[in-house]
Amino acid sequence: MVNNMTTYYEHTPVMLQECIEHLITDPNGTYIDATLGGGGHTLAILEKLGPQARVFGVDQDQQAIDAASQRIGEDPRCTILKGNFGYLSTLLPPPFRGQVAGILLDLGVSTHQLKEAKRGFSFQQEGPLDMRMGAYTGLTAYDVVNTYDYERLRDLIFHYGEERGSRKIAQSIIDARPIESTQELSTIISEQVPPKFRIKSLARVFQAIRIEVNQELEVLKQVLQQGLELLAPGGRMVVMSYHSLEDRLVKNFMKSGNFEGLIEKDFYGNPVCPLTPINRQVITPNDQEIDRNPASRSAKLRVAEKVGDPGS
């Protein structure tokens, strides 16, 4: 249960209709929402399913687990599991492996995580340099900011944050050590960028540190590979990402079954891929959704189906 002293900031589910429509192919099938968050998508999935269906909701964040459990309440079809989706195949009870009709991934952080100052995700609020989504990794934002050498810091700000001022920012972080709080870090970054780019640069650098702390690209690769094993033939993978590096991994994996996007061919030259993408074009939120929920603006939804005969 949620501690009464804690407010859970509700997360508005992104592209809810689009996710549900693409995910559910069998009203009595087994589904996994691997990013349970506040439970918005899970509730909508449950509403569309029949009495024989099963839904597993996974999150590594205890606050998300508590809030979603309270919101969903008693539903014998739904099981909530705490853990990192990088270990999805071990979290799911063995009888369901290879039997799953659909897996949903809504990557990144929830509104709650961003708004809860003491989690340290926000550059707009004073908080500790933490940014851990779950209790599974020892690494914190403090460790990254205060112990990484110049090259490592510069590269992660450049690659994970896609921030052009990565050199100046990395050097200014090193010069200012030790840095204790999110606001100290925000001030140091702000001094390195022109005022009109400040908010974007802050968002990019904080995102880069968060991706590093939570090893987000590594666990994404793991969950895509394991998700494929868990799906039944004809089962669907529905993935929403908010960052071009994540989207590239998802796109390549759905197209080729590997992260480089290299399509293998059989003896006769026919392409061999364990998944078939369902949409040619990536799906993005419409203007009304972006107006209603600006946090949805960078979302990219991709869907693929596991090849094979669903009857096999």
Q: Please, which residue, 148 or 242, has the CB nearer to ligand SAM?
A: 242
Residues 6+ apart with CB under 8 A from 28: 49, 50, 51, 52, 53
Q: Which of 49, 131, 133, 211 binds ligand SAM (CB under 6 A)?
A: 133
| x/- map, 181-200, ligand SAM, by CB under 6 A | --------------------
Select the span of 36-44, 165-173, 260-268, 273-281 touching ligand SAM (CB under 6 A): 36-44
Asked if residue 39 binds ligand SAM (CB under 6 A), the reply is yes
Q: Tell which one of 24, 58, 283, 304 touches ligand SAM (CB under 6 A).
A: 58
In the chain, the N- to C-terminal Cα span, in Å, equals 41
Give the separation between CA 180 and CA 259, rounded to whole angstroms: 37
Of 75 and 264, nearer to ligand SAM (C-beta) is: 75
Q: Are 189 and 163 in contact (CB under 8 A)?
A: no
What's the token pair of residue 247? 């989207």
Q: Candidates 57-65, 137-145, 166-174, 226-234: pick the segment binding ligand SAM (CB under 6 A).
A: 57-65
Decide whether 172 or 215 has the Cβ nearer to ligand SAM. 215
Q: Which of 106, 163, 212, 247 binds ligand SAM (CB under 6 A)?
A: 106
Tell which positions 63-92 bind ligand SAM, by CB under 6 A: 64, 84-86
CB closer to ligand SAM, 167 vs 221? 221
CB 9 within 8 A of CB 115: yes
What is the signed CA dihedral for 7, 12, 14, 20, rounded to 10 degrees? Answer: 100
Q: Do 31 and 23 touch, CB atoms closer than 8 A?
A: yes
Q: Across the chain, how many H-helices and E-strands are there?
A: 13, 9
**Of the candidate residues 22, 23, 56, 61, the single one contacting ligand SAM (CB under 6 A):** 61
Give, for 285, the enclosing helix (H) or strand (E): none
Site track for ligand SAM across 201-240, x = CB under 6 A:
------------------x---------------------
Nearest to 141 by CA among 231, 225, 212: 212
Q: Which is nearer to ligand SAM, 85 or 148 (CB)?
A: 85
Q: Establish if 41 lies at the interface with ligand SAM (CB under 6 A).
A: yes
Among 18, 22, 32, 40, binds ligand SAM (CB under 6 A): 40
Q: How many angstroms separate the Cα of 249 from the Cα of each of 51, 121, 218, 226, 263? A: 35, 24, 10, 14, 14
* Contact yes or no for 3/219 (Cβ under 8 A): no
Residue number closest to ligand SAM, CB atom:
37
Position 120 contacts ligand SAM (CB under 6 A): no
